[in-house]
Amino acid sequence: MEAVPGENGGLEKTEGRGKKHKGKHDKDKPWDDPSVDHWKIEKFDPSWNDSGMLEVSSFSTLFPQYREKYLQEVWPMVKSALKENSIACELNLVEGSMTVSTTRKTRDPYIIIKARDLIKLLSRSVPAPQAIKILNDDMNCDIIKIGNLVRNKERFVKRRERLLGPNLSTLKAIEILTGCYVLVQGNTVAAMGSFKGLKQVRRIVEDCIQNVQHPVYHIKTLLMKRELAKNPALANENWDRFLPKFKKKNVKQRKAKAKEKKPYTPFPPPQQPSKIDLQLESGEYFMSDKRKSAKKWQEKQQKQAEKTAENKRKREAAFIPPKEPSSHVADSTKSDNDNDEVAAMAKSLKKKAKEFKQQEAHENVNAESYIVNAENARSKKKLKSSKSN
C-alpha cells in the first residue's frame, strides 16, 4: 500500500503496486559486508589530519602535596610518553599543578582528552606506569567521587573498608571480574578499563557506599554472568531467571530511650538569680575593687593548692608498693598440712608392714616348732602355779 497524489490534489492510498526500483544511489555499500566489524576502533593514522590543530587546547589539574615527591621522580617518564603523541606537559611545583597542551605537531584531536585523563589519574595516586596506559585507544578511565554520598564520617570509612575487603580480596575480585584496574584513594575511586567494565565498577562502588547492596552480591552476579556467557545457546536469551535475587534485610536497631515527660504546669519556672543578686546576697557587691581582687586571688591560690596536693598524691601513688599476701602465715599453714600428710603416710606404711609380717609368719609355720613352743608354754604355766602354791 502506497500514497500517491489524487485528483483533488490530496494523497490517496493505492494497492497492488510493486516495490520501487532501486536507483544509482541505492547500491550495496562496501561496509555492508557482515564480515566487517563496525565496533572495532582503528588506530589513528596521522595522514587523516595532515594540517594539524587550528587552536591550542590545554588542560590543567591540581595535585595534593604528598604526591609532589613522587611526581618529580616519574615526570621524565610521563613527559617522554606524551612526547610520542606530540603533547607538551608542564609540572608546576609552586602552584601544585600539572598542565598538558597540544602543539603544532599534534595530529590526533582526541589525544589531548587522553592526556587530561592521564594527569587526573596521576593526581589521584595512580602509579605512573599504570596511568600511562590510558593513552591507548582501548583504555578508558572513570573517577568516581564517593565523598559526598555519605554524611557520617564513620559510616563512610566503614563502607569504604567494605569495598576493599579483608586483605583487599573484594577489590581483587572486582578487578578480575570487570577487567578493570581499581584504586580507592581518599574520597575518590579511580578505575581504568573498557566502557562495559567501568559501568559495572561504578554501579558496584555507588551501591556499596550508599548501602544499597554489598559488593559480594555483585561479585556473585558477575560470576554467574561469566558462566552464562560461555553457553552459546543462551546468547540471545534473557538471563534474569538464572541470576540470584538478593533481598535487603532490615537489621533491627536499638530503640532510643524515651524521655520521661514532666507534668505540665501552666506557670513558668522561677527566675534564676542574676550575678548582681548573688553578689548582693554574699555582700561582695559592696566590697571595694581592691578587696574583690584580693578575694579572687585568695580563691585562686586555694584552688591551686588543692590541685597541687591532688597531683602530688597521684604521683606518690605510683611509688607505693602493693600489699603482699602474708607469706609466713601461708607457709606455716602449708608446712602444717605437709607434716600431717607425712605423719598419716608413715602411720599407714607401718600398719601395712605389720600386716605383711603377720601374714608371712602365718604362711611359714613349722609343725614341730609349733608343738615344742606349745609344750614349753605349758611347763612354764605349771611352774608358775606350783610356786604360787
128 confidence band (pLDDT: 50, 70, 90):
very high
Amino acid at 168: L
Query: Does the structure show a pLDDT above 80 at 27?
Result: no
Q: Per mean pLDDT, which range of 15-24, 99-108, 123-132 is the poorest? A: 15-24
Tell me the per-residue pLDDT of 38-64, one tens digit each, with 9 for 90 and over: 777 788 888 888 888 888 999 999 999
CATH number at residue 176: 3.30.1370.10
Residue at which a domain ends, from 107, 137, 167: 137
Residue 200 sits in the same domain as residue 221: yes
- Judgement on whether residues 88 and 157 belong to the same structural domain of the protein: no
pLDDT average, residue stretch 313-340: 70
The predicted-structure confidence for 248-279, as pLDDT tens digits, reads as follows 666 667 777 777 888 888 888 889 999 899 88
Name the residue type at position 206: E
pTM score of the predicted model: 0.56
Share of the chain above pLDDT 90, in %: 42
Q: Identify whether the C-beta of residue 13 lies closer than 8 Å to the C-beta of residue 3.
A: yes
pLDDT on residue 347: 80
In tens, the pLDDT along 62-119 reads: 999 999 999 999 999 999 999 998 999 999 999 999 999 999 989 888 999 999 999 9
Q: Cβ neighbours of residue 18 under 8 Å, at least 6 residues apart? A: none
Q: Is residue 117 part of a domain?
A: yes
**Confidence (pLDDT) at 14:** 47
Residue 259 lies in a domain: no
Which position has the higher pLDDT, 234 or 158? 158
Does residue 124 sit within a domain?
A: yes
Residues 97, 193 within the same domain:
no
Q: Of the ranges 12-16, 163-167, 194-198, 316-320, which one carries the lowest mean pLDDT score?
A: 12-16
131 and 155 fall within a common domain? no
- Residue 177 is predicted with a pLDDT of 92
Rounded to an integer, what distance in angstroms lies between the CA atom of residue 80 and that of residue 21? Answer: 59
Query: Residue 23: is its pLDDT beyond 70?
Result: no
- The rounded distance, in Å, linking the Cα atoms of 154 and 147 is 12
Q: What is the 3-state secondary structure (H, E, C) of the chain?
A: CEEEECCCCCEEEECCCCCCCCCHHHCCCHHHCCCCCCCCCCCCCHHHHCCCCCCCCEEEEECCHHHHHHHHHHHHHHHHHHHHCCEEEEEECCCCEEEEEECCCCCCCCHHHHHHHHHHHHHCCCCHHHHHHHHCCCCEEEEEECCCCCCCHHHHHHHHHHHHCHHHHHHHHHHHHHCCEEEEECCEEEEEECHHHHHHHHHHHHHHHCCCCCHHHHHHHHHHHHHHHCCHHHCCCCCCCCCCCCCCCCCCCCCCCCCCCCCCCCCCCCCCCCHHHHHHHHCHHHCCHHHHHHHHHHHHHHHHHHHHHHHHHHHHHCCCCCCCCCHHHHHHHHHHHHHHHHHHHHHHHHHHHHHHHHHHHHHCCCHHHHHHHHHHHHHHHHHHHHHHC
Euclidean distance between the first and the last CA atom of the chain, given in angstroms as a whole number: 171
Q: State the Cα–Cα distance between residues 162 and 180, nearest whole angstrom.
A: 19
The DSSP bridge pattern shows strands 140-145 and 181-185 to be unpaired
pLDDT exceeds cutoff 60 at 9: no
Mean pLDDT across 152-177: 92
Chosen domain end from 247, 281, 315: 247
Together in a domain, 185 and 152: yes
83 and 174 both lie in a single domain? no
Residues 193 and 224 in one domain: yes
Report CA 325 to chain centroid distance, whole Å: 48
Res 10: pLDDT = 46
Same domain, 90 and 187: no
> 173 and 238 share a domain?
yes
User: Please, are residues 208 and 161 in contact by the beta-carbon 8 Å criterion?
Assistant: no
Q: pLDDT digit string (tens) for 276-298?
A: 998 888 888 888 888 888 888 99
Domain containing residue 165: 138-247
Q: Examine residue 66 and state whether it is found in any structural domain, yes or no.
A: yes
Same domain assignment for residues 53 and 101: yes
Pair 124, 200 in one domain: no
User: Does 3 score more than 60 pLDDT?
Assistant: no
Residues comprising the chain, all counted:
389
Domain boundary among 247, 280, 300: 247
Choose between 354 and 167: higher pLDDT: 167
Separation of alpha carbons 378 and 376, rounded Å:
5
User: How do beta strands 58-62 and 97-102 pair?
Assistant: antiparallel
Band the pLDDT of 164: cuts 50, 70, 90. very high
Q: 150 and 126, same structural domain?
A: no
What's the whole-number mean pLDDT along residues 126-151? 92
pLDDT of 2 reads 47
Q: How many domains, the chain? A: 2
Specify the pairing of strand 11-14 against strand 2-5. antiparallel
Is 8 within a domain?
no
Indicate whether 56 belongs to any domain: yes
**Residues 6 or more apart whose Cβ sits within 8 Å of residue 275:** none
| Within a domain: 353 | no
Q: Is residue 17 part of a domain?
A: no
